[in-house]
Structure 1
Amino acid sequence: MSEVKLNRRLTGKELIVFGLSLMAPITIFTTFGIASEVTNSKVPIAYIFTALALCLTGYCYAQMVKAFPISGSAYTYVYRSVNSKIGFLVGWALLTSYALLPMINYLVAAIFLHSILPQIPYGFWIILLILLNTLINIKGTKMASWVNTLLLAYSFLVVIIFSILSIKYVVTDQAVSSLFTLTPMLGSGFEFSAIIAGASLLCFSYLGFDSITTLAEEVIEPEKTVPRAIYAVIGIGTFTFVAVSYFATLVQPSYLGFTNLDSAAVELVAMVGGNLFVSFFLAGTLIGCFASGLASQASASRVLYAMGRDGMLPKIFASLSPKYQTPVFNLLLIAGISLLSFVMTLTLATSFINFGALIAFLFVNISVVFYYFIKKKNRTFVSTIRYLLIPTLGSLFILYLLFNLDMISIIFGLSWGALGVAYLIYLVKIKGMNQISLEFSEEG
């Protein structure tokens, strides 16, 4: 009987849809009010700074997937280029990001649905969403990609309509020339420190480009396809974020004009499109949550699969369905974790996600230095820029963000890390995993 493996069937377009679905571009509206206050209504320029910084990390992900076109993302890169034990701890941290992200999406979606249909219990929506996403993911990445394409199309339709209505709103109220101004970027009240603070906040809007690499083992020609998809997701995301925040700032030039910063997006949508568009917008928010949950569950299951295959987790994590070639056990486990939606708050879950994501970003940058500059000895002038300077700059930016996380994120992140260290000690001391093979071939 032949060994069950992940099949290379995903194309570049499907990979881009996957990354954008997890990123959920429509979530720009979720953070707009708070970001406006932090940046003194200079959100577009903060997004540009964020994109420039994360392009460095995106570049490092692209370099590492060329070397290791397999599942596991940051865990795999650190495991195979730096150290197996450090790789495990990075994977352990990464799990907090991917495993809890579906739960946040279910939580937000359930809150929204319950507010519309209060007669239906809140928990019903959570269970229904978990079941739907799990069944779609079990069927395979092709089906998940098809569903995500439809959901993402609706989200972008909301973004496009908002932009058109915003332009109409501004032009009706002012001259056409008012559409072309640097005020949302560099107007009065510009403070560089505020822009950097905004960039730290908005960094998490880009979570999704990194998840592409978790599917590398299921992509056709991953060495070429995955890097292109990473750059495309960052580019499309940046264009969307900057454009929408620019138009939103033209509509409401000051955050002081919002009644409630948490619901600033709804106020904006009502201003430009009225109640009908508010309903259309809220449906888009719900769809974005569902699509992001679908993609993040798939990502988490592939990280668990890679760790199980390497012996860092019990072998059951490396099992695949003979029928669907998907890690069914892992998908069911993530579904079970998502049931924490009944008891965990958004603040607590977000704290775990922020810490885990930044740890992964940091060590992917470090992996490039270890693999290309130190191990491969690529030290020409150009190679030094590519494999030392760029990842070093990326690492410094991520470290800055780590040090500026709120205390809750740091405390819970370190607590989870301590559990990972305890489990690693068990693996090394009890199971004797001091020597871990780093060899891999797609043929097994």
Structure 2
Amino acid sequence: MRHSPFRTKSPERLVAESGADLEGHGLQRTMGLFQLLCFGIGAIVGTGIFVVLADTVPEAGPAVIVSFVLAAVTCVFTAFSFAELGSAIPVSGSSYAYAYATMGELVAFLVGWCLLLEYGVSVSAVAVGWSQYLNELLGALTGRQLPALLSGAPGDGGVVNLPAVAVIAMAAVLLVRGVRESARATAVMAVIKIGVLVVFCAVALTAFDAGNLVPFSPHGLAGIGAGASLAFFSYIGFDAISTAGEEVRNPRRNIPLAILICIGVVTALYCLVAVAALGAMPADEIAGTPAALAVIVDRVTGSGAGAAVVSFGAVVAIASVVLAVMYGQTRILMSISRDGLVPRVFERVSPRTAAPVANTWIVAAVFALPAAFLPLDVVVDLTTVGTLALMAVVNLCVPLLRRARPDLRRGFTVPLYPLSPLLGFGFCLYLVHGLGAATWLRFAAYLAAGAAVYFAYGRSRSRLDAGGAGDAPAPGAG
């Protein structure tokens, strides 16, 4: 008889299964705190600040600075929850595993379904942003750009976005070589892109004009809230740190530490970039400008050399996001595959490179398609609402796990409990509200499709009944 879709899996079983790959080859713990920090920054800093800034300014005006802070506050509270759960359940499943331990298999599967948006679909969005900045770089260096037909989606006046496909393929090549090589590449790229953003701020602040910040909030609180909903896309990726739970040394200490440090560094950097950009160019000119940071530097310096430097930084930054986010997606699919809810091909690890090779190439192939044929704005809103939904779930997982397993070892506990996770949950819902009814309806249809996949495929193939003392109905599931 089929088990209840609300059965949970004990944290002990989640950890035990993560350490014994079912195909006979396990992941290797090769990442230290520095590599994890670079991986986290690599996953966060990219398309958001380099591309989405131009989309948030029309909503909030110069008050987009406040929008970035509001999005950061949401992330801080949610980061606390990820840090506690990541230290208690240090596995690659991230929020999928946390939901499985507290809310049951169906909710966990839907969280995994949302992770396909956060990690998978955002790979497509990030790759499209990379293509835009690659054209800016080529223009600054050579005076020529790639043909529009081959570097844009049909909605952007092109036929196919080949550069977006190319960056996904390059990331896949690095990932199948193993996590050690990927971590090294991510570390180098993280240092480069932080350096370029600091240089941008130094250059843009030389042209700072306080008059550009007036009127500061032309659309009031509603505009700030809508801007925060869009700005949140800039922070997507910090939770990817928790997907490295099986490849990090001392994960109970290093995962929460890396999450909190990354959020602090990125928030300070984003706010500084927003102030510098708005001070150097009026908000109405930034609005809708592709590769806005490169344009600002070009105007301030009066030379294409400055724009070339920023565009190079963006090309590196966004490539590192593609790499880090694809890594997270493959590890999530590994965890779901171990539970039998998706085909077993996703859990197979190469004995030579200790990497999920087939998994990586499947992810690359699937998400190269929307990157090739869809404009950036089509995928950003749906990615954001899916991410906010699963983060709301993660904030609820903290009190549920505290109630069900107060004895569980935790390397970090959220401050101001239970206020902190409840505030994180509330902020997530507030930002979802700012995305609009059309996005909600698309997301509801997406969730319905996920539920259909679970009941048609996953539920009958679940391995949850194959042993597992300590598994029980989810709290409140009856």
Which TM-score applies when normalising by structure 2? 0.81
**Unaligned ranges ≥5, structure 1:** none
CA pair 388-435 structure 1, distance change in 2 beyond 3 A: farther
Residue 226 (structure 1) shift:
0.5
User: What are the superposed Cα offsets for residues 355-375 of structure 1, whole Å, 9 maximum, x if unpaired?
Assistant: 221121011001101101344
Q: Which residue of 2 aligns with 1:210?
A: 239
Residue 246 (structure 1) shift:
1.7
Q: Which residue of 1 aligns with 2:329?
A: 300
Q: Which residue of 2 aligns with 1:265?
A: 293
Output the CA distance in 2 between the equivalents of 1:231 and 1:219: 16
Q: Which residue of 2 aligns with 1:139?
A: 177
Once the two structures are overlaid, the 10-residue window that deviates more, 424-433 or 397-406, is 424-433
Matched, 1:154 2:175: no
SS of equivalent residue, structure 2 residue 62: coil
Q: Which residue of 1 aligns with 2:473?
A: none
Aligned counterpart for 2:379 among listed residues 338, 344, 349: 349
CA pair 377-185 structure 1, distance change in 2 beyond 3 A: farther
Output the CA distance in 2 between the equivalents of 1:385 and 1:121: 50
How do 1:32-431 residues align onto structure 2 when only pairs under 5 Å count? 32-113=53-134, 116=138, 117-118=145-146, 121-122=150-151, 124-170=162-208, 191-252=220-281, 254-258=282-286, 260-262=288-290, 264-274=292-302, 275-340=304-369, 341-376=371-406, 386-427=416-457, 430-431=460-461
Output the CA distance in 1 between the equivalents of 2:108 and 2:221: 36
Contact 2:53 2:231 in 1 (8 A): no
Aligned counterpart for 1:28 among listed residues 26, 37, 49: 49
Contact 2:58 2:287 in 1 (8 A): no
Contact 1:43 1:185 in 2 (8 A): no
Residue 68 (structure 1) shift:
0.4
Letter in 2 for 1:67: A
Contact 1:100 1:337 in 2 (8 A): no
Letter in 1 for 2:293: A
Contact 1:11 1:219 in 2 (8 A): yes
Output the CA distance in 2 between the equivalents of 1:273 and 1:78: 50
Residue 315 (structure 1) shift:
2.0
Residue 336 (structure 1) shift:
0.8
Contact 1:89 1:417 in 2 (8 A): yes
Output the CA distance in 2 between the equivalents of 1:220 and 1:144: 16
Contact 1:39 1:46 in 2 (8 A): yes
Task: Provide the alpha-carbon RMSD of the alignment.
Answer: 3.0
Output the CA distance in 2 between the equivalents of 1:428 and 1:208: 27
Output the CA distance in 2 between the equivalents of 1:126 and 1:80: 37
Residue 321 (structure 1) shift:
0.6
Contact 1:94 1:357 in 2 (8 A): yes
Residue 69 (structure 1) shift:
0.3
**Greater per-residue helix proportion:** 1
CA pair 433-185 structure 1, distance change in 2 beyond 3 A: farther
Contact 1:82 1:371 in 2 (8 A): no
**Unaligned ranges ≥5, structure 2:** 1-21, 139-144, 152-160, 471-478
User: What are the superposed Cα offsets for residues 332-373 of structure 1, whole Å, 9 maximum, x if unpaired?
Assistant: 111111331222332332233122211210110011011013
CA pair 67-45 structure 1, distance change in 2 beyond 3 A: same
Letter in 2 for 1:406: G
Which TM-score applies when normalising by structure 1? 0.86
Contact 1:368 1:387 in 2 (8 A): no
Letter in 2 for 1:331: T
Output the CA distance in 2 between the equivalents of 1:315 and 1:259: 46
SS of equivalent residue, structure 1 residue 240: helix
Contact 1:211 1:299 in 2 (8 A): yes
Letter in 2 for 1:21: G
Letter in 2 for 1:229: A
Output the CA distance in 2 between the equivalents of 1:429 and 1:86: 12
Contact 1:80 1:438 in 2 (8 A): no
Output the CA distance in 1 between the equivalents of 2:372 and 2:321: 19
Contact 1:114 1:121 in 2 (8 A): no
Aligned residues: 426
Once the two structures are overlaid, the 10-residue window that deviates more, 351-360 or 84-93, is 351-360
Q: Which residue of 1 aligns with 2:31?
A: 10
Letter in 2 for 1:281: V
Output the CA distance in 2 between the equivalents of 1:59 and 1:91: 20
User: What are the superposed Cα offsets for residues 220-246 of structure 1, whole Å, 9 maximum, x if unpaired?
Assistant: 111110001000110010010111112
Identical amino acids, percent of aligned pairs: 23
Q: Which residue of 1 aligns with 2:158?
A: none
Letter in 1 for 2:283: Y
Residue 47 (structure 1) shift:
2.0
Residue 264 (structure 1) shift:
4.0
Output the CA distance in 1 between the equivalents of 2:60 and 2:382: 25
Contact 1:42 1:185 in 2 (8 A): no
User: What are the superposed Cα offsets for residues 296-337 of structure 1, whole Å, 9 maximum, x if unpaired?
Assistant: 110000000000112221222211111111111210111111
CA pair 357-439 structure 1, distance change in 2 beyond 3 A: farther
Output the CA distance in 1 between the equivalents of 2:123 and 2:37: 19
Contact 1:133 1:294 in 2 (8 A): yes
CA pair 2-158 structure 1, distance change in 2 beyond 3 A: closer
Output the CA distance in 2 between the equivalents of 1:8 and 1:35: 39
Residue 432 (structure 1) shift:
7.2
Once the two structures are overlaid, the 10-residue window that deviates more, 145-154 or 302-311, is 145-154
Residue 191 (structure 1) shift:
3.7
